[in-house]
Amino acid sequence: MTEPFAAVEIITAKRNGQRLTDEQIAWTVDAYTRGVIADEQMAALAMAIFLNGMDRGEIARWTRAMIDSGETMDFSSLSKPTSDKHSTGGVGDKITLPLAPLVASYGVAVPQLSGRGLGHTGGTLDKLEAIAGWRADLSNEEIFALLEDPGAVICAAGAGLAPADKKLYALRDITGTVEAIPLIASSIMSKKIAEGTGALVLDVKVGSGAFMKDLDQARELARTMVDLGTDAGTRTTALLTDMSAPLGRKIGNALEVEESVEVLAGGGPADIVELTVALAREMLSAAGVEADPAENLANGKAMDVWRKMIAAQDGDPDAELPRSTHTETITATESGVVSGLDALSVGVASWRLGAGRARKEDPVQAGAGITIHAHIGDKVAAGDPLVTLHTDDEGRFERARDILDGAYTFADSAERGSVILDKIQ
């Protein structure tokens, strides 16, 4: 077929800071998906977008083109409303695990089509795969059945949703072009809009462990995504939340499942409970349900949904979680109150211990990770345990210890404030 544009014209236009037309954008995304635009050309364009940006209209058109590259789902035949959450990714961010069954316990269906982790932030599917027997791949019929009962499903996003994004995200990952707001916003929102959820709450992370290191950048990303969702007819809001320190006290696949179950049993760390309840309130409200989500955490109703949800995907909610074969504890060399614990260092250490993968084909260790004994606000004396490292491969301890060196800061007094920094709607 005769192509209406040449890739090089589009690359030079964006390199020179020009706006791309609707037709140019639609063709670019489609031609890249078809293999007509080569990876090296798309890499150059992604860098030009990274450097020169795109305006709201261009981002909306780019997002639409990525949605149109594949299939879309439609949950309007369900007997209940749908509401979903997406986090831009952080260290110890296991919130989806307690959140999905909590929201479902109020009669709002949660279609969580998720991915596996790459780099220092863990993937939801990797965490759930630590549960014996649990299965991430479901057919569309199974997804619909589970959304009716028990009401929440966390599973692998099928290859058919936004295939242009899959190809482009892998390319961005190896060409230094991930952290561009137009590309992150269109990547996330194309998948969520294609997924067909009625309402969407975004958890946009800010801090060392997140893509966005400062609040202004995070606010711009949140605003861009909320506008994209709203323009596409998805009720979308965003919370900006702190990712300067890890969430909770357990980092790693099985360890994060364990901490999520503590939260579902009415306990767990205060920051995880705060964020789970706040996101649940937003998800329910966007679906037209006003409730205090803390209630169903306390009375066990969310736990009932969790158990059914795990069993429905062949997991055993009572199975003992895998443990790593080796542990090593790092102790404090000084006394004081913990005033900082760097999220990125903890995330990279956990990754180096085997909890994450460097390439998408790599396996992950279910039991690997980090238990935090001293978090922000905790008082320690020299010799007290700070963290325990877990791995199946002793050779990994040294590199994990290296990155944790300097991760803690101490002061005379400190406390962990609210993890919720702002709301965008």
Catalytic sites, residue numbers: 86, 165, 172, 187, 191
Among the listed residues 313, 323, 419, the one whose alpha carbon sits nearest the alpha carbon of residue 369:
323
Residue recorded with tokens 């690359």 = 11
Q: Which is nearer to ligand URA, 194 or 302 (CB)?
A: 194
Q: Does 194 bind ligand URA (CB under 6 A)?
A: no
Among the listed residues 81, 123, 124, 125, the one whose alpha carbon sits nearest the alpha carbon of residue 103:
81
156: tokens are 């692998």
Question: What is the chain's length?
Answer: 425
Q: Does 188 bind ligand URA (CB under 6 A)?
A: yes
Distance between CA atoms of residues 188 and 83, nearest Å: 16
Q: Does 124 bind ligand URA (CB under 6 A)?
A: no
Stretch that binds ligand URA, among 176-184, 234-242, 360-368, 392-400 (CB under 6 A): 176-184
Q: Does 29 bind ligand URA (CB under 6 A)?
A: no
* Residues forming a β-bridge with 423: 239
First to last CA, the chain: 44
Q: Does 177 bind ligand URA (CB under 6 A)?
A: no
Among 187, 253, 276, 365, indicate the residue that binds ligand URA (CB under 6 A).
187
Q: How far is CA 231 from CA 56, 182, 338, in A?
A: 11, 15, 44
Minimum CB–partner distance for residue 95 and ligand URA (Å): 16
Q: Which is nearer to ligand URA, 184 or 376 (CB)?
A: 184
Applying CB under 6 A, the site for ligand URA has a residue count of 7
Distance between CA atoms of residues 215 and 221, nearest Å: 10
Q: Which is nearer to ligand URA, 132 or 178 (CB)?
A: 178
Q: Give just the sign of the alpha carbon dihedral 150, 156, 158, 164.
A: positive
The H or E element that residue 399 is part of is: helix 397-404
Q: Does 75 bind ligand URA (CB under 6 A)?
A: no
DSSP 395: G
Minimum CB–partner distance for residue 422 and ligand URA (Å): 20
Q: Which is nearer to ligand URA, 33 or 88 (CB)?
A: 88
Stretch that binds ligand URA, among 36-44, 184-192, 312-320, 395-403 (CB under 6 A): 184-192
Q: Does 350 bind ligand URA (CB under 6 A)?
A: no
Stretch that binds ligand URA, among 183-191, 310-318, 342-350, 352-360 (CB under 6 A): 183-191
Q: Give just the sign of the alpha carbon dihedral 396, 398, 400, 401.
A: positive
Binding-site ranges for ligand URA (CB under 6 A): 88, 169, 178, 183-184, 187-188
